[in-house]
Homo-oligomer: A and B are copies of this chain.
Amino acid sequence: MNAEPLSKQLFSDTKNASQLVRSYQKIAVTIDCVIFGYQDGQLKVLLIKSDLENYTEQWSLLGNEITHTETTDEAAYRVLKQRTGLSDVFLDQVKCFSTPDRHPGGRVVTVAYCSLINIAHHQLTCTDNDLHWHPVQDEIDWAFDHKEIFETCYGWLQKRIQEHPLGFSLLPEKFSLRELQGVYEAILGMKLDRRNFRKKFFTMDFLEDTGEMELNVAHRPGKLYTFNYKKYESGKKDWVGIDF
């Protein structure tokens, strides 16, 4: 607020790095994971009942403190692994939330992470505290500021999935185009034109025809494709173009 005294105090002299850091106020830092999953054509988010007194009826993101020896990334992977058994999955940092009174137990700064996994392919390793998947369009009674964190991550995901091939992590190794389109429609919350969707992905040229077909579907079976990551990498463009 008043610039002079602080800048004078901070920049008068060289300082010892350890002393400086010792002088800083220390704060609890946590990570919270917004883990999205997809099942039956619906986008869902993984939540637990809060385990804090007075908040046990509210839904909470999966979170944990970060320890002195790990990065926030490592903490996020640790939590994801503990709760879902998953380790080979994307997990991206979205944003840091730091409102002083955001946590009822005192000052806690949290870093939000976002992930997207295939529900059908991973059993939850622990279902304490009512851990389960909630359709994203359900009314949810959120704990603390987790509604805001969730919404930020959901918006981030909708933008991200249009620019990066995240959708494939929701699908089995081999998938039909209908399944792929279902993922996009669920995440973006809108219907897409089937013919244009197919054209789009075929011209992007990283889907590989496996030669196999769907089995046991109550309609004409579709071809199964795999996502060729190498082709995706080599075909990436780096210039997007000005477009507000």
User: Known contacts A103-B21, A107-B21, A200-B242: does B162 contact A7 (CB below 8 Å)?
Assistant: no
Instruction: State the Cβ distance, A118 to closest chain B Cβ, in Å.
Output: 20
Q: Is A217 an interface residue (CB 8 A)?
A: no
Instruction: State the Cβ distance, A206 to closest chain B Cβ, in Å.
Output: 8
Q: Is A159 an interface residue (CB 8 A)?
A: yes
Q: Is A51 an interface residue (CB 8 A)?
A: yes
User: Known contacts A109-B29, A242-B184: does B81 contact A16 (CB below 8 Å)?
Assistant: no
Copies in the complex: 2
Q: Which residues of B contact A200 (CB under 8 A)?
A: 242
User: Known contacts A7-B128, A15-B53, A30-B24: does B241 contact A162 (CB below 8 Å)?
Assistant: yes
Max chain B CB contacts within 10 Å: which of A83, A106, A242? A242
**A:13-29 near B, CB below 8 Å:** 13-22, 24-29
Say whether A71 contacts B99, CB under 8 Å: yes
Number of A interface residues, CB 8 Å? Answer: 80
User: Known contacts A129-B11, A244-B232: does B17 contact A107 (CB below 8 Å)?
Assistant: no
Say whether A244 contacts B236, CB under 8 Å: yes
Residues of A participating in the B interface, judged by any CB pair closer than 8 Å: 1, 3, 6-7, 10-22, 24-30, 48, 51-56, 64-73, 78, 81-83, 85, 93, 95-96, 98-100, 103-109, 111, 125-126, 128-129, 159, 161-165, 184, 200, 204, 232, 236, 240-244
